Amino acid sequence: MSQAKGSWTRMAVLAGVLAFSSGAAAQTTPAPAENAAPTADNAVMLTVFLKHDQSRPLSELNAQLQRQGYYKAFPPEGVEVVSWYVMMGVGQVVTLRLPASRLREINRIFENTAWGSYRTEFYPTYDYKAIGIAAHEKAQAQ
């Protein structure tokens, strides 16, 4: 229970930060152009857990995804797929790199085309690899 409460707290804090930094106008502005590209100053990574509905066979899930236009809509042009794995017993895990301004668009794609076949969880992330390797190399040199 404590771990679940901590997760919800982190999500609430993140939602507040995103809402505060984006301003109220973000809710009324149209989605950015499809060719918007992530840059060093606007890119976020988003890890999405797509948890299969295990009460139904895969053929039904895939048929529903097809009817709802999932693979036609996802991934949208201009959003980089960093990784896309099947996690056996869970579903799929997709990591995307995109401009922060397109976060709502990605959410809507999943809401409109993936729900029913998948339960979704979203985790905003950032690329730490270069920093971690540099810290490791610095520690090795000491």
Q: Which residues contact 91 (CB under 8 A, 6 or more apart)?
A: 49, 50, 51, 52, 118
Whole-structure pTM value: 0.66
Tens digits of pLDDT across the chain (142 residues): 555 555 554 544 444 434 434 443 344 444 445 556 666 667 899 999 999 999 999 999 999 999 999 999 999 999 999 999 999 989 999 999 999 999 999 999 999 999 999 999 999 988 788 899 999 999 999 9
Backbone conformation region of residue 72, classed left if phi is above 0, alpha if psi is from -120 to 50, else beta = alpha
| Alpha carbon 129 to chain centroid, angstroms | 19
